[in-house]
């Protein structure tokens, strides 16, 4: 962490609250509130803000308004607004409203993939190949999510070799960045570090991101371990929105405010204005009628 | 973390919930519930359980029943039950009910010490010298707390040199262990690491403990950084009880359950049965009529 180079001290935050967060919230927010959320996030200095998901509304009713939300947000120059797409149809819906970055996803756990999208890992990657080909032709960037990298609600342990294999395939297929997600938040720092190290042996560290849920309170410690390994892209969600359908009542994504507080306290740069982020998190928690999961926002707004 | 030696992989948890936790809770628990709490903790495998405080009830009304609680708890062989004492009078009250380990405290911040106990750091250490002398004659172990090691609600930054000086003096005066406390929970991993490293240059690492509050959500990450520096004693409170009188609404001590989960996940040993600890934390939260602050307990009891 004591590197003088500014690149080594810069961490890019990928804000996933409007997608990964809200898709797991019980409270359904109207499209105009989602648009206001993303517009607020755009003013904080964040450069990547996942906006929504073009997955079937049957699966994710919370984001059935994807086209309306994406069309309605202010596109700030220099900020990317990726959207999740499950297949070519979703890709086309996203493109129709002007998306210039998309994200595809696969679990590292065979059991999870089967339960979640009724396909093997290989089948799910096959499905994304047309998306990646089309995106390449269209000049659209594609981010890849690998989920269940440190545990699966169905099969338990997930072999690191499986994580490496899926990450490698998504990267080889054209994803510019692979986000490694501990979907159920069970990981601990030594395991997170070992997993990241194994993946980084096959995919350049510069093309990797980490994505932790705070189900067991381990997210910041895991992020710290991964920063020490060299990762410089971190997914998080303002106000720690979300939750985990596999552990009811559990905490969701790690809160962006808490990640940014830690990074700035360590002398790392994010370009994010923490005060604006805290204000946005407090505002979002009020919209959701729940207490914020961000300890920083709680401490800052409690006084 | 990859050391084969069992000593290097063993972390002693100092459970402070019954004292540091409860003294900052709004809900006043009756003595018999406190006794039940400590008795439950005694069965989890913990070897150090801070039981109460013999500070004046005027200052800490929550623990006015110190003598009754201490006399009432089951003393399990092999488990130590330190109690906080502010001066020789408190020491004598503690000894009268059979305490065999006590703890003294000083802030590293001059401003905090003045506001908190109306004495300079030097004066407060002077006050403890008779306690340390008497304890030495009585064969009573003394633990020393240094508070505000990473920030002070009154003076803001606390120079690391001041932390080192206070820790050194308490150690030289006879404290067998010095617990370094981030009282207001503002610290981040790089600062925690630098502070610990500076203290460890003057006091043996084996005589140091770390004590983090989770006000800004940084506690586990800070603990991880300090484990990497070599510390092997961690203070924590079951269910994350407590709070911070200087940041209302803020979170209290780091939850023991979350610390133990992290340590076990990293292959470290604590001797603590996590299931029993989670059950105790859930029980305590019910007694306090509040949601547990432990993410592990929330995830484990939510399903």
Residues from chain B that touch A214, judged by Cβ atoms under 8 A, are 295
Residue A242 domain-assigned?
yes
Is A295 within 8 Å of B262 when comparing Cβ atoms?
no
Q: What is the mean pLDDT of residues B113-131?
A: 89
Contact between B207 and B199 under an 8 Å Cβ cutoff? The reply is: no
| Helix H or strand E encompassing A260 | helix A256-265
Token pair 């042996």 is at which residue?
A201
Which tokens belong to B131? 């306690």
Is B251 within 8 Å of A190 when comparing Cβ atoms?
no
The CATH code of the domain that includes A191 is 3.20.20.70
Contact between A50 and A15 under an 8 Å Cβ cutoff? The reply is: yes
Q: Which residues pair with B107 in a beta bridge?
A: B147
**Per-residue pLDDT, B56:** 86
Residue B3 domain-assigned?
no
pLDDT greater than 70 at residue A250:
no
How far is residue A93's CA from residue A53's CA, in Å, rounded to a whole number? 10
Is A223 within 8 Å of B220 when comparing Cβ atoms?
no
Number of domains comprising chain B? 1
Say how many CB pairs under 8 Å bridge A and B: 123
Which tokens belong to B132? 């340390």
Residue A249 domain-assigned?
yes
Residue A4 domain-assigned?
no
- Which of B249, B298, B303 shows the shortest C-beta gap to A298? B249
How far is residue A210's CA from residue B103's CA, in Å, rounded to a whole number? 41
Q: Which site among B3, B184, B220, B221 would you substitute to test the A interface, given the most A Cβ atoms closer than 10 Å to its Cβ?
A: B221
**Per-residue pLDDT, A151:** 95
Which tokens belong to B69? 């609680």
Q: Which residue of chain A is at minimal alpha-carbon distance from B251?
A: A295
Residue A168 domain-assigned?
yes
Residue numbers of the domain that contains B274: 12-301
Is B261 within 8 Å of A218 when comparing Cβ atoms?
yes
Distance between A80 CA and the closest CA of chain B, angstroms: 28
Which tokens belong to B161? 């040199």
**Per-residue pLDDT, B249:** 58
| Helix H or strand E encompassing B218 | none
**Per-residue pLDDT, B4:** 45
Nearest Cα neighbor of B241 from B302, B289, B179 is: B289
**Per-residue pLDDT, B228:** 98
What is the pLDDT confidence band of residue A244, given thresholds at 50, 70 and 90? low
CA pseudo-torsion sign B160, B166, B168, B170: negative
Stated pTM of the model: 0.94
Residues from chain A that touch B215, judged by Cβ atoms under 8 A, are 295, 299
3 state DSSP class of B91: helix
A299: left (phi over 0), alpha (psi -120 to 50) or beta: alpha
**Per-residue pLDDT, A57:** 85
What is the pLDDT confidence band of residue A246, given thresholds at 50, 70 and 90? low
Please count the CA atoms within 13 angstroms of the CA of A279 that sit on its side-chain side: 10
Burial of A188 (0-12, 13-18, 19+ CB in 10 A): buried
Is B299 within 8 Å of A266 when comparing Cβ atoms?
no
Q: Which residue of chain B is at minimal alpha-carbon distance from A266?
A: B190
**Residues A59, A63, A66, A70, Cα dihedral to 10°:** -150
User: Starting from the edge strand earliest in sequence, which strands make up the sheet with B177-182, in order?
Assistant: B48-49, B12-15, B233-236, B208-212, B177-182, B141-147, B101-107, B83-84, B52-53
Is B261 within 8 Å of A303 when comparing Cβ atoms?
no
Residues from chain A that touch B266, judged by Cβ atoms under 8 A, are 188-191
Mind listing the pLDDT tens digit for each residue in B11-41? 999 999 999 999 988 889 999 999 999 999 9
Contact between B15 and B52 under an 8 Å Cβ cutoff? The reply is: no
| Helix H or strand E encompassing A285 | helix A274-287
Residue A2 domain-assigned?
no
Q: Which site among B187, B191, B299 would you substitute to test the A interface, given the most A Cβ atoms closer than 10 Å to its Cβ?
A: B299
Residues from chain A that touch B265, judged by Cβ atoms under 8 A, are 187-191, 218
Calculate the average pLDDT of chain A. 94
**Per-residue pLDDT, B229:** 98
How far is residue B130's CA from residue B138's CA, in Å, rounded to a whole number? 12
Which tokens belong to A266? 């360590």
Residue B5 domain-assigned?
no
| Helix H or strand E encompassing B188 | none
Strand duo A12-15 + B83-84: pairing: unpaired
How far is residue B51's CA from residue B29's CA, in Å, rounded to a whole number? 14
pLDDT greater than 50 at residue B148:
yes
pLDDT greater than 90 at residue B167:
yes
How far is residue A5's CA from residue A252's CA, in Å, rounded to a whole number? 33
Contact between B184 and B178 under an 8 Å Cβ cutoff? The reply is: no
Residue A138 domain-assigned?
yes
Share of chain A above pLDDT 90, in %: 84
Range list of H helices, B97-188: 110-117, 121-138, 160-172
Distance between A175 CA and the closest CA of chain B, angstroms: 30
Known catalytic residue at A226: no
What ipTM was assigned to the predicted interfaces of this complex? 0.92
**Per-residue pLDDT, B57:** 85
How far is residue A270's CA from residue A46's CA, in Å, rounded to a whole number? 8
Distance between B177 CA and the closest CA of chain A, angstroms: 25
């Amino acid at each position: 962490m004591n590197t003088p180079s500014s690149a080594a001290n810069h961490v890019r935050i990928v804000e996933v609250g409007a997608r990964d967060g809200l898709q797991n919230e019980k409270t359904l927010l109207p499209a105009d509130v989602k648009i206001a959320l993303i517009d607020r996030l755009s003013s904080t200095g964040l450069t990547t803000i996942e906006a929504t998901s073009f997955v079937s509304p049957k699966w994710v009713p919370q984001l059935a308004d994807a086209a309306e939300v994406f069309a309605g947000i202010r596109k700030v120059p220099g900020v990317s607004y990726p959207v999740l797409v499950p297949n070519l149809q979703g890709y086309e819906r996203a493109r129709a409203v002007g998306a210039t970055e998309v994200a595809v996803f696969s679990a590292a756990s065979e059991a999870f993939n089967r339960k979640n999208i009724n396909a093997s890992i290989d089948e799910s990657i096959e499905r994304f190949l047309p998306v990646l080909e089309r995106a390449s032709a269209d000049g659209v960037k594609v981010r890849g999510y690998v989920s269940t990298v440190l545990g699966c609600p169905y099969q338990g342990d997930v072999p690191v070799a499986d994580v490496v294999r899926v990450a490698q395939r998504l990267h080889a297929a054209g994803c510019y960045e692979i986000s490694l997600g501990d979907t159920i938040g069970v990981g601990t720092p030594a395991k997170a570090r070992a997993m990241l190290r194994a993946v980084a042996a096959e995919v350049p560290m510069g093309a990797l991101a980490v994505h932790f849920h705070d189900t067991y309170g381990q997210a910041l410690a895991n992020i710290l371990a991964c920063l020490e390994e060299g990762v410089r892209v971190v997914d998080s969600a303002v106000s720690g929105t979300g939750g985990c359908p596999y552990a009811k009542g559990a905490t969701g994504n790690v809160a962006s405010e808490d990640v940014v507080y830690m990074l700035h306290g360590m002398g790392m740069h994010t370009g994010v204005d923490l005060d604006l982020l805290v204000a946005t998190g407090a505002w979002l928690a009020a919209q959701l009628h729940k207490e914020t999961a961000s300890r920083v926002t709680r401490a800052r707004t409690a006084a």
